[in-house]
Amino acid sequence: MVGISSLLNPYGDERDGTRYGHKRPSAPVVVWHITDRCNLRCRHCYAALPASGPPMDREEALDFIGLLSDLSPPALLMSGGEPLMHPDFFLYLKAAAAAGLRITVSTNGVLIDDSAAAEIASFGVPYVGVSVDGVGDVNDSFRGMAGAFQRALDGIEALASAGCRVGLRITLSRPLLPHLESILALALDLPVSRLCFYHFVPVGRGALDSGLSPDRGDEIRAVNRIIRWADSDARSGGKRPAEVLTVGDASDGALVYDYLQGQDPVRAASARELLLRSASRGAGGIRSVRWDGVLFPNQFSWDRPLGEWRDLACLKSRGTTVE
């Protein structure tokens, strides 16, 4: 993950403390894909896989939450499929909150009405990421449901009204790139404080669609545009302090550094220091646990199982260190 806004504004934002700051978590962020079910059918879906083992039952899922409570990861990211499709989503949310875990939710937003938003907020969820793949019909066509875009926007408004911090999640697939400007404009019109761009990874259904991988030059141009947009928005006192990140290509940090070298050598030097620090200290990283309990290095490497969720217990005693 590359915190573009943090690198553009070194030392000005503490939200990326676990990435660039002095707190060094040794436990990983855990992404829990609680179900493979989804109400959408996105072209790039990494979670669309042939049936694996049986899903964790309720007792096993609660045991898993118990282990996470001992492990104290920096965050538990509840994802899917679409997590709200799981009949026990709110039960697990409640259990994780009671266990003291810092929970974030990743959703397509379609099922989030005022009631669901209020319930999510009631468990102290500090952040909900809502995914879209374009504006209006572009999104609906890519994601396989007419009206999905408007419902995602309604979900974002409901979450913000309920007091949750909300972000937009966008995948930089080839079909999305021509619509990047409309996404950037949208971000300024919504009550979102975070904009997170994922580089496309050809796994799951996405591996079957040769039209999704962007040309490398187009991808770099898109990231450079995002960097310029993030910097100009911050400098002009944009409508809101958007936190802008990319996920999936650490070399984006070098693009920020290159950009700053041409703009402001002082900020460039500070950004370089942050990049060197984050590269050298080996933070806790990420782990992904799928609905069937299998443990993976991350959510895009489901061809490389590491074991099962109980194997996370080996990290129990390491805790969090401070440099």
Binding site for ligand SF4 (CB under 6 A): 38, 40-42, 45, 47, 80-82, 108, 131, 143
Of the pair 42, 186, the CB lying nearest ligand SF4 is at 42
Q: Which two tokens stand for residue 238?
A: 């944009």
Beta strand 194-199 pairing with 165-172: parallel
Min separation Cβ 44 and ligand SF4, Å: 6
Among residues 47, 6, 2, the alpha carbon closest in space to that of 243 is found at: 6
Min separation Cβ 127 and ligand SF4, Å: 17
Please tell me the distance from the alpha carbon of residue 173 to that of residue 198, in angstroms, as a whole number. 9
Min separation Cβ 304 and ligand SF4, Å: 20
Min separation Cβ 202 and ligand SF4, Å: 13
Residue reference for tokens 């099922």 = 111
Residue reference for tokens 């703009």 = 263
Min separation Cβ 211 and ligand SF4, Å: 16
Residues 6+ apart with CB under 8 A from 110: 39, 40, 82, 145, 148, 151, 152, 155
Of the pair 25, 206, the CB lying nearest ligand SF4 is at 206
Whether residue 307 is preceded by a cis peptide bond, meaning omega within 30 degrees of 0, is no
Please tell me the distance from the alpha carbon of residue 95 to that of residue 304, in angstroms, as a whole number. 29
Of the pair 63, 292, the CB lying nearest ligand SF4 is at 292
Of the pair 47, 260, the CB lying nearest ligand SF4 is at 47
Of the pair 229, 300, the CB lying nearest ligand SF4 is at 300
H or E stretch including 103? strand 103-107
